[in-house]
Structure 1
Amino acid sequence: MHWIDWVLVTGYFAFILGFATWISMRARRKQAMDSASFFLSGRDAGWWVIGASLFAANIGSEHLVGLAGTGAASGVAVGQFEIAASLILLLLGWLFVPFYLRNGVFTMPEFLERRYSAGSRWYLSIISIIAYVLTKISVTIAAGGIVFEAIMGINFWAGAVAVVAITGIYTLLGGLRAVLYTDFIQIFVIIAGSLTVTLFGLDKAGGWSEVHATAGRSFFNMWTNPDFPWTGLVIGVPILGVWYWCTDQFIVQRVLSARNFHHARGGTVFGGFLKILPLFLFVIPGIIAHALAQKGMLELEDADAALPTMVAALLPVGFRGLVVAGLLAALTSSLASVFNSCSTLITFDIYKKLKPDATERSLVRVGRVATGFLILCGLAWIPLMKLVSGELYKYLQSVQAYISPPITAVFLVGLFSPRVNGRGALAALLTGFVLGTARLVLELNAGALGPGPLRSLVEMNFLHFAGVLFAFCSVVLVLVSLLTPAPDRERLRGLTLATGVEGEVREKASPLVIAASVLLLVTVLAIWVVFSSWGVG
């Protein structure tokens, strides 16, 4: 990298750290740092901050590397996950948000306890914390080290430590408020960096029509990719999406910080519009890289190297620093979000559960200690990652797809049916965990399996498996609930659609939010038409 690129990258880090510190100090001058301020930004976040943070927290290494790599390998079909997320965010705002905000919960496991039982809360808390440490934290740290090493020439370990240290400092100091406002700034850096790669790539390839002609019509069809069959997209993607966007603490914590229902819903709609961008900022650049490689204008040894290869080969001095800053903005925002969400779970679902009389000051202190502990876990995990094979690590990531269907089932069915109870929920969660783990173990030993039902189970597309597991867990939830005593309907007041509090669930929606929601639906439909067999010409 040229010295100008270095100035841009170091300037970015200095600005983010300084901005986060200023936000934290400003908040402390206004009021004492209580638990609501540290973990939920004082519950006064506006829709623009919430939507931006939903987007920035979500953009991680799987987008920086995975989306562009899959786009280079097979085209736009992988963009379905991003487009579907726009619709799922509408579901978050219009169905789930009223229940979460009215009950004033800090965490998703806390809501699950109110709806079902303490056992359900413990299950979701432990599963979430373990998954965050082993997957989200570790993979983001590793991606940061790779960016430093591959593009900037800095040692992997030094880069990884730098990402953890800078992100950890401002998360520990300012809590969610610092995370939210830095996310708002960082989306501009992410978009600017990714857009720069797209424009330079298109110029090098000779324009959009040339890319389309070189890559081929099949690369621009979202519905005909064998890795992502349309049946799986229709059935499996919404199940995984509801878990991630509507029930996962990592995402929903941003909405819990809203100042009211209107800002919460507005934030989800704004986030929905932003989620359309990855198709054009990450997937399309991957296709451009593929087209350049086909024309002999770019050496692409591996599809996953599409984005960094384009950065190294196409961008002039100054622009490379901008793109690297964008990559690091995506990684730090994602890491900051998981630090804050995981520390919230540790504080409220473990510490406060064991010590219900804890003071506000002790809750904030534990939150900071938990954040520090997670930083140390992240650093300690870096050398251990070298001992984990790439294939096993891929399966560690995929386990989230196997544990999500039962969680989606208990949340969704629980909102619609007041008859399902805590015993049914725990049975469904444990059944789903056992079956999902079984699928994971079978995948790890797929080579030793002969023809038969087990082989068919392993070879089933993961999106189809998610649909089957969701249906099975829903049946378990309903059957066990019907065979055991019904919950007290009075206790469920405000926790299901049938036992909602009049006036709050049906609160009059803002006409602007309604119009924006309709526009988002129309936009998604238009994209589906354009990127289909009859829309791409």
Structure 2
Amino acid sequence: MQRLDSLDWIVIAAYFLVLLAVAWWVIMQKQKNTEDYFLAGRNLGWFVVGASIFASNIGSEHVVGLAGNGAGDKMPLLIYELHAWLVLMLGWVFLPFYARSGVFTMPEFLEKRFDARSRWVLSIVSLVAYILTKVSVTIYAGGVVVSALLGIPFWIGAVATVVLTGIYTVLGGMRAVVYTETIQAIVLVLGAGVLTFLGLDAVGGWGQLKTTVGADYFNMWRANSDPDYPWLPLFITSTVVGIWYWCTDQVIVQRVLTAKNIKEGRRGSIFGALLKLMPIFLFLIPGVVALALKMQGKLEWDSPDEAFPVLMSNLLPSGLRGLVAAGLLAALMSSLASVFNSCSTLFTLDIYKKLKPNKPEEELVKTGRIATFFVVGLGLLWIPIITMLSDGLYEYLQNVQAYISPPIAAVFLLGIFYKRINANGAIATLIGGFLIGFAKLTLEIVKESFARDSFIYAIADINWLVFGAYFFALCIGIAVVVSLFYPAPSQTQLAGLTFGTVTSEQKANNKSSYNWKDIFASMVVLVIVVYIMVSFSALSL
């Protein structure tokens, strides 16, 4: 790998100066109440909301892992990048219910729809999941990227980036996060876009790329008998994970809740959906390019997860290398900042405020800053563990999420679409689902200690995509059956929180929040998704 030169460092330094200037400007603004600190005063426009959604999703683990998929014959996982239609669902289906409820967090919404037990369970599980997956994996990938690009030890790169991100997240709150994310999204798209263009040129164009790796390499749909990526379980499980991530997860939903109204929030989700289609071309294709260049003898790398940084360092000229390096650093920082702020929000509003309901607003903001500091510390403490993670970072993340998401997705979907679901059905699904998911994950880790012909080994060995599909169906069943054993929720409790209880006035207000432009833009996104699905199939190869 080529090291960064003086011009690269100048570009990186300029980027960080702009970033810190914006963060400092935000920090100087007064933030004395929770709405301003955690939701940026609910006063953001659609462009900032959409860019923030994109930047929150695209972390270093995403860049490194998605390019690794392209370089490592894991094209079926492309389907996770086609979830733009689920980002649309957030704006068109879920946002009106969240906005009407006036909530800050997703656990808070469950309390309004069901009861306090659901709020407690989701809050605690979400915090643990964030620290053990999102924070840890992002730090790990970021450490790899920073050490590779800057030529410094992994530990120094990881710690420095986490601390820097933590400082402006603690001091600036949500407003600092979303404004810096907007800058980071622009830098990342420009830098990776240039790399894709130059990469295709270096390999000899799109036609030569397909010839080198083979046309079948681009087929994302494999037979249901495929041991790794059977197409139907892949589609079902990826959709369940997508509904959980894009429509119910605090990190993403918190972005649309910062919008000044439903109209701006929905347009932000539409813009975010358009941006969500870009990683296919910005990160996945460069991974395939890196593989083709390796096959042509023009590039060398050992692990697929090294494909993107190696391609970038060897292909880009001076200055542009610095721009893309800044983009990768931006991806790391934006993801960490998003998770830090969302963890802080969950702890402060769903745990601390419930335990101490009479605390003043200034005290809650102070608690939010302290909570962010502790999340930063826990992330740093987890570094020795995450250095043991193997290659295939992106698949690892999707694998774990397939065990976390089904109970949460089931409860939110049924909670909004089926008014008969009650609090007992919700809590049984959440607790039972988390126990089942954790048990499967544990069995999978220790399965080699069981006899290969044993029943337990057979359960542990079930493909994670197949398990995820059946797991979701089981969670739906638990919620419905348990709910039927108890009385239905009252109409007063359900008012405006589920289909069938929305008033005519609420329907009219929602209808007035969009026009033909919003519908047209959404249709464009759906057409592009279908086009890509067909293009990356045996039908067109």
TM (norm. structure 1) is: 0.95
How far 1:461 moved relative to its partner?
Answer: 2.5
For the residues of structure 2 that align with 1:108 and 1:490, how far apart are their CA atoms?
20
Equivalent-residue separation in structure 2 for 1:377 and 1:428 (angstroms): 29
Range that drifts further, 311-320 or 175-184: 311-320
1:22 aligned residue: 25
Return the alpha-carbon distance in structure 2 between the equivalents of residues 455 and 233 of structure 1: 22
1:67 maps onto 2:74 in alignment = no
Q: CA–CA distance in 1 between the matches of 2:419 and 2:389? A: 45
Give the distance between the partners of 1:349 and 1:501, measured in 2 at CA.
Answer: 28
| Residue aligning to 2:283 | 282
Deviation of 1:142 after TM superposition, in Å, equals 2.2
Aligned to 2:324: 323
Alignment of 1:89-128 (within 5 A): 89-128=87-126
Q: Deviations over 1:117-146 (max 9, x none)?
A: 111111100001011112211222222222
User: Hey, what's the Cα distance between the residues in 2 that align with 1:203 and 1:392?
Assistant: 27
Deviation at residue 422 of structure 1 after TM alignment: 0.8
**Residue aligning to 1:143:** 141
In the alignment, which residue of structure 2 is the partner of 1:468?
A: 470
Contact 1:71 1:78 in 2 (8 A): no
Instruction: Please list the CA deviations of residues 465-521 of structure 1 after superposition, one character each: whole Å capped at 9, or x if unmatched.
Output: 111111111111111111112222211111110112332245213221111111111
Deviation at 1:199, TM superposition (A): 1.9
- Which residue in 2 is equivalent to 1:530? 535
> In terms of mean alpha carbon deviation, does 133-142 or 177-186 score higher?
133-142
Q: How far off its partner does 1:165 sit?
A: 2.0
Deviation at 1:396, TM superposition (A): 8.2
Question: 1:472-487, aligned counterparts within 5 Å?
Answer: 472-487=474-489
Residues 392 and 381 (structure 1 numbering): CA distance in 2 closer, same or farther, change over 3 Å? farther
Secondary structure of 1:499's match? coil
What is the distance in 1 between the residues matched to 2:363 and 2:26? Answer: 22
What's the C-alpha RMSD, in Å, of the aligned pairs? 1.9
Structure 1, unpaired ranges of 5+ = none
Quick one: structure 1 residues 434 and 75, their matched pair in 2 at CA, closer, same or farther if it must change by over 3 Å?
closer
2:308 equivalent to 1:307? yes
Q: Please give the TM-score of this superposition, normalised by the length of structure 2.
A: 0.94
- Runs of 4 or more consecutive aligned structure 1 residues displaced over 6 Å after TM superposition: 391-397
1:354-373 to 2 correspondence within 5 Å?
354-373=355-374
Tell me the number of residue pairs that the alignment of Structure 1 and Structure 2 aligns.
530
Deviations 1:339-387 (A, max 9, x none): 100000010011111111221111111111111222222223324544x
Partner of 1:406: 407
Residue 56 (structure 1) shift: 0.3
How much has 1:453 moved relative to structure 2? 4.3
Give the superposition deviation at 1:397. Answer: 7.3
The whole-number CA distance in structure 1 between the counterparts of 2:500 and 2:64 is: 44
Distance 1:359 1:490 in 2: 30
SS state at 1:491 partner: helix
1:245 counterpart residue number: 246
Aligned to 1:498: 500
Structure 2 SS opposite 1:171: helix
**Bigger mean CA offset, 498-507 vs 281-290:** 498-507
The counterpart of 2:7, out of the listed 4, 8, 14, is 4
Aligned-pair identity in percent equals: 51
What is the deviation of 1:395?
Answer: 6.4
1:203 to 201, 210, 217: 201
Q: What is the CA distance between 1:72 and its match in structure 2?
A: 0.9
Unaligned 5+ residue runs, structure 2? none
**Partner Cα distance (2:219, 2:385) in 1:** 40
**Higher deviation after alignment, 105-114 or 200-209:** 200-209
Q: Is the 8 A contact 1:76 1:220 kept in 2?
A: yes
Question: SS of the counterpart of 2:498?
Answer: coil
The structural deviation recorded for 1:535 is: 2.1
Q: Deviation per CA, 1:72-119, whole angstroms, max 9, x where unpaired?
A: 111543221111x10111111111001100111000000011111111
Q: Bigger shift: 453-462 or 245-254?
A: 453-462
Question: What SS does structure 2 have at the residue aligned with 1:74?
Answer: coil
